[in-house]
A and B are shown apart, each in its own frame.
Chain A
Amino acid sequence: MRRWVVRSAGLAVVVAVVGILVGCGGGSEVLTLDRIGQEDAPKTMTVQLNNSYTHQAATPSWADGFEKSFTKFAEDHPDWKLELKIIPDDATTQEQARLLEAARVGRAPDCANVDSFVVPQFIDQGALKPIDEHFSEEEKQDLFPFVREVVTGEDGKMYAAWWATDLRLLYRRTDLVPEPPRTWDELIAAAKAAEEKDSEVDGYLFNGGRWEGTTFDNLAHFWSQGGELVDEEGKPIFGEEPHRTYMLNVFEFLKESVDSGASPQRVATIQNYDELDAAAQAGTVAMFQGGDFEYPALKETLPPEEFKKWEISFIPTMNPDDPQKTGTGGWTMGAFSDDPEKVEMCMEFTKDVYIGEGNQVTGQLPTSESLFSELDKFQDPIYDTFREGLKEGEARPGVPVYPEISNQLQIAIGTVLTEEATPEEALDKAYKNSLSAYEEQQR
């Protein structure tokens, strides 16, 4: 009798637990690992997303935020199911190349994350569909100028919805560097002064390793002098005057920062922003050039009294009157389908989940002035600085030869910092190789 009771009670518990689990699952049936919407929904759209921009993001708050947005989208669009292809965050570069290849042979997903700096390539290849009719003229005009320029094709049509951006800035510890340096000379002097005040710190850190950040971050120094990497045809011109001089100035400045001791030689090994954060957290850096996205991380990880010491300013320039340019990147959504209904759904998905909502979830900067004013997330005064900085934003040239230019500039900066080559030798080699890659692409 007793055994019978125990067994019955056990069974009841199992049934209850299964019931609860099924009940919970029932609520999220519209969202699975690779699908948004009911499985039997009559209409299907394929969507390729970076892992960070999904309910599987590594950052818990992002995962929660996108889970809510996806679920709401599915409930609002019961006729649709979105089949997801999720790209690991560390594979986005090669995946963009694969996406372009897939689009070329007509096998691209209907809707996908496209890196902002390759959008012009996708437009040139005819991979993206125009999306003008899904945005009002007011919405388009509200976008920052650098955003409009990148997403607009030669025919004047808009081809991608650029929803998240970022920018590069100078972070400094005010107890060591009270005033923001305006010029490169001031930056080096301030870095050395900081090292004298505190022998444990490196004066100035920046990306100098073999990765895209090295080119991208340091291009601000080149752009602020009026330099251009390519001409209107997309042909590299950074080795021709006056751009050659501008680039040489940048190389000389970076070399001087190491030679003078303002920066350690290990900047030639820095190939991610985490290392800059780590130095700030360890209290071993006075200034570093980083992205706006490092600000929340520092705020979260530094003790409040330490965080108070940090301030942000725009990137110093060669001359005091040069504009303080900054590199801007970020992600767009593009539609690849020939079916107008899917193009419309792709943009509806973008508007419902990413534009505004996605900025709130991720804290990544909006691409229009009005969203900065409207969204709660961006009311902290620091975002006024970011918004101001974006007015001098420069996007990387979206030409097919850019990745190779970037690769060559990374090599050049590395060889200059380690004294394997003079700035002139490094630049000439980088230019020659970039031109050669361009000519090969033009065959």
Chain B
Amino acid sequence: MTKKGFAPRELIGENRPTLWMAPLLAVVTLFYLYPAFEVLRFSVTNSSLLQANYEYTLRTYAQVLGDPVLYKVIRTTAIFVLASVVLQLALGLLIAVAANRARRRRLPGIVFMRSVILSAWVMPGVVIGIVWAIVLNEASYGLINLVLSAVGIGGVAWLSNPNTALLSIIIANVWRGTAFSMILQYAGLQSIPDELYEAAEVDGANALQTFWHITIPQLRPILMINIILITISTLNTFDMILPLTGGGPGQATEVLSLRTYNVIFGQFSLAGGAVLAVIMLAISLVITLFYRRLLRSEGVV
């Protein structure tokens, strides 16, 4: 039996990625796993910003889960996320298909159009919230109501009516997120071989048939990834809602992430905020697992 000495080269060999993975592992551990562990740990305490001492208890879970407000907030969040995801996906696809067609026909201005759409996505959420607060302002100088008045339609209570306020934050979020969906799907569309479309054309397929039987099946993996990413991103949205409605009127637009902020900085309850964060994490995980299963069944992963 020969004794093998330490050979650093083996660690960084093609099949042994330990060393070159180490920085990534360190970053993930330090900035993702450790904070996530701390959130989990705080959630099983009664920790508060006002007191140094805390004890381990499950009482905070009982309190948060026993609060009827939580279920109203979850309902609002579900409507917000579902509507945002469906609309972002549909509009993103629509624009991507249009842009792709324009590219194939070599129409001018396509790069400019892509840049304009993308500008909505790169804007910080707070700025988008402020911009939409101006656009949807119900005063006579609010942009949309001004236009509606000009064409003889009375002003709409965009933000002061609890139902339309929820619709308003969905509109603002769709405006913000559609660009991301469009870019992903545009990239996906470009990877579809032109031969498939040419064959469809030869077979006499119309535009709708081509879209349904070629574009959608070819795009399915990208669509699935897109759904996962925008679901999680919408679930975490609160920076845009804060300046737009603050969660009001009443609690009509208070979503889970905003509720978490209010619990920590309003009630000073670190534990309560951590429990809500864990609930959000659990929801994200369940959704991701669900989508993953779907992807598997599609043979994508």
Binding site for B on A (CB under 8 A): 90, 93-94, 97, 100-101, 104-105, 121, 125, 200, 202, 208-211, 264-269, 271, 275, 278-279, 282, 284, 400, 403-404, 406-407, 410-412, 414-415, 417-418, 420-421, 433, 437, 440-441, 443
Q: Across the interface, do A441 and B268 meet the contact criterion of CB distance under 8 Å?
A: yes
Q: With A100-B50, A200-B140, A418-B250 as given contacts, are A403 and B157 in contact (CB-CB < 8 Å)? A: no
Q: Across the interface, do A209 and B46 meet the contact criterion of CB distance under 8 Å?
A: no
CA distance A443 to B46 in the complex (A): 9
Extra 10 A-B pairs, beta carbons < 8 Å, given A97-B49, A104-B52, A282-B141: A269-B138, A269-B160, A269-B245, A271-B248, A284-B140, A407-B266, A412-B250, A417-B160, A420-B249, A441-B267
User: Would you list which residues of chain B between 247 and 277 have a CB under 8 Å from chain A?
Assistant: 247-252, 262, 264-269
User: Would you list which residues of chain B between 115 and 151 have a CB under 8 Å from chain A?
Assistant: 126, 137-141
Q: Across the interface, do B141 and A210 meet the contact criterion of CB distance under 8 Å?
A: no
Instruction: Identify whether the interface residues of A are mostly helix, strand, loop, or mixed.
Output: helix
Q: Across the interface, do A420 and B246 meet the contact criterion of CB distance under 8 Å?
A: no
Q: With A210-B246, A403-B268, A420-B162 as given contacts, are A266 and B139 in contact (CB-CB < 8 Å)? A: yes
CA distance A210 to B266 in the complex (A): 13
| Chain A residues positioned under 8 Å from B137 (CB to CB) | 266, 269, 275
Contact string against A for B residues 40-77, beta-carbon threshold 8 Å, 1 for contact and 0 otherwise: 00000010111010000000000100000100000000
Q: Across the interface, do B139 and A284 meet the contact criterion of CB distance under 8 Å?
A: yes
CA distance A417 to B250 in the complex (A): 9
| Chain B residues positioned under 8 Å from A93 (CB to CB) | 265
Residue from A267, A269, A404, A433 having most chain B Cβ neighbours under 10 A: A269
| Chain B residues positioned under 8 Å from A269 (CB to CB) | 137-138, 159-160, 165, 245, 248-249
| Chain A residues positioned under 8 Å from B165 (CB to CB) | 269
Q: Across the interface, do B140 and A417 meet the contact criterion of CB distance under 8 Å?
A: no
CA distance A278 to B180 in the complex (A): 34
Interface size class on chain B is 20 to 34
Minimum CB–CB distance for B67 against chain A, Å: 9
Q: Across the interface, do A265 and B157 meet the contact criterion of CB distance under 8 Å?
A: yes
Q: With A269-B159, A403-B268, A440-B269 as given contacts, are A264 and B138 in contact (CB-CB < 8 Å)? A: yes
Q: With A100-B49, A200-B140 as given contacts, are A268 and B248 in contact (CB-CB < 8 Å)? A: yes
| Chain A residues positioned under 8 Å from B269 (CB to CB) | 440
Binding site for A on B (CB under 8 A): 46, 48-50, 52, 63, 69, 126, 137-141, 157, 159-162, 165, 245-252, 262, 264-269
Residue from B49, B50, B157, B250 having most chain A Cβ neighbours under 10 A: B250
The 8 Å CB contact of A210, one of B140, B248, B267, is B248
Q: With A266-B138, A269-B160, A441-B48 as given contacts, are A209 and B267 in contact (CB-CB < 8 Å)? A: no
| Chain B residues positioned under 8 Å from A414 (CB to CB) | 248-252
Q: Across the interface, do B248 and A400 meet the contact criterion of CB distance under 8 Å?
A: no
Q: With A100-B50, A268-B160 as given contacts, are A279 and B249 in contact (CB-CB < 8 Å)? A: no
Q: Across the interface, do B266 and A404 meet the contact criterion of CB distance under 8 Å?
A: yes
Q: Across the interface, do B250 and A437 meet the contact criterion of CB distance under 8 Å?
A: no
Closest to A121 in B: B50
Q: Across the interface, do B246 and A271 meet the contact criterion of CB distance under 8 Å?
A: yes
| Chain A residues positioned under 8 Å from B246 (CB to CB) | 209-211, 271, 410
Closest to B165 in A: A269
Q: Across the interface, do B160 and A265 meet the contact criterion of CB distance under 8 Å?
A: yes
Minimum CB–CB distance for A123 against chain B, Å: 13
CA distance A406 to B246 in the complex (A): 13
Q: Across the interface, do A266 and B157 meet the contact criterion of CB distance under 8 Å?
A: yes
CA distance A266 to B160 in the complex (A): 5
Q: Across the interface, do B248 and A282 meet the contact criterion of CB distance under 8 Å?
A: no
CA distance A269 to B168 in the complex (A): 12
Closest to A104 in B: B52
Q: Across the interface, do B262 and A407 meet the contact criterion of CB distance under 8 Å?
A: yes
Residue from A93, A279, A443 having most chain B Cβ neighbours under 10 A: A443
Q: Across the interface, do B141 and A284 meet the contact criterion of CB distance under 8 Å?
A: yes
The 8 Å CB contact of B248, one of A200, A202, A411, A433, is A411
| Chain A residues positioned under 8 Å from B265 (CB to CB) | 93-94, 97, 403
| Chain A residues positioned under 8 Å from B46 (CB to CB) | 443
Q: Across the interface, do A210 and B247 meet the contact criterion of CB distance under 8 Å?
A: yes
CA distance A441 to B47 in the complex (A): 10
Closest to B272 in A: A440
Q: Across the interface, do B159 and A266 meet the contact criterion of CB distance under 8 Å?
A: yes
Residue from B46, B248, B251 having most chain A Cβ neighbours under 10 A: B248
